[in-house]
Chain A
Amino acid sequence: MTVQLEYNRIVEALPQNLASSVIAIEDHGLIIQPERLTDIAAFLKVEPGMELDYLCSITGVDCINYFEIDYLLYSIKLNHRCTLKVRLADKSEPAVPSLAGLWLGAELQEREIFDLLGINFSGHPDMKRIFLWEGFPGHPLRKDYGHGC
C-alpha cells in the first residue's frame, strides 16, 4: 500500500528556516510558500526518512481568486507519497520556481502548465508552449478563457 506521509511528521522534520514557510496542512496536501518550494522539495528528496525521489505528476488549477499547483511526490524505496501545494494569489504575473533541476520529469509537465494556464516557471531550461502554437491567443485552461475556439 502506498502510504500517505503524515504532514505533521514532515513539518517536524523540516529545519527551522524551512518550517516557517509552511502555510497550512490540509488533508489533500501541504501548502507552502512558492518562494521556498525548491528548498523544501530538495530537502524532501534527500532526507533519509522521506527520500521522495519520484515526481509523479503536477496539476495546475485555476481557482477563481488564485492559481494552485499540486506536486504529487512518491518515494520508490519507502513506498509512500506526499502532495505539495503552492497557491499564487497574483494572477497577472504568476510565477513559481521550476523543479526541473531536481526532477527531470517536471520539465514537460511544467511546460504544459505554462502553455495551458500561463504560469511561468522561473529557471526552467526551455520555457515555451508545448501543445499550442506560438501566437495562440490566451491560455485555454483559465476559467476566464472563452469557451470553444
Chain B
Amino acid sequence: MLSEFSLIALFILIVLGFATSLVLIPVALRKLGIVPSQPSAVKSEPYECGLETTGPTWIQFKIRYYFYALLLISLDITVVFLYPWAVELTSLGPAGLITIFIFLGILAVGYLYAWRKGALEWK
C-alpha cells in the first residue's frame, strides 16, 4: 500500500528540487562572478518615474481593498471543495448533489449579505 505513495513522494521531491534550484541558480551565478552584480544605494531605492518618492508610503489605506480580498478568498475556497466532489460525482449519487447545494447555499447567503451591505460598491 505504501509503495503507491512513493510516486507522489518522488513527485514532491522533484517539485521541491526544481523550485529551490530556480531560486539558487542566480545566487550561485552571482557568487561565482559569472553574472556581474554591482549593488548601489540608488539602485535599491524604489523606482517612481525617475524621482525620489516623497511623503509617507506606509499610510492608512482604503478599507475597501480588504473587503474585496476577503470576499475573493471565501469564494476561492469553495472552488477547492468543489473539485473532490466533482471527481466523485457519479459514486456520490443524489445525496452528494443535495449536500453541495446546501454548502453553496450557505455561501450564497454570506455573499448576498456582503453585497447588500455595500462591500462591493467602489466609491
A–B direct contact (CB < 8 Å): no
Residues of B whose CB lies within 8 Å of any CB of A are none
Residues of A whose CB lies within 8 Å of any CB of B are none
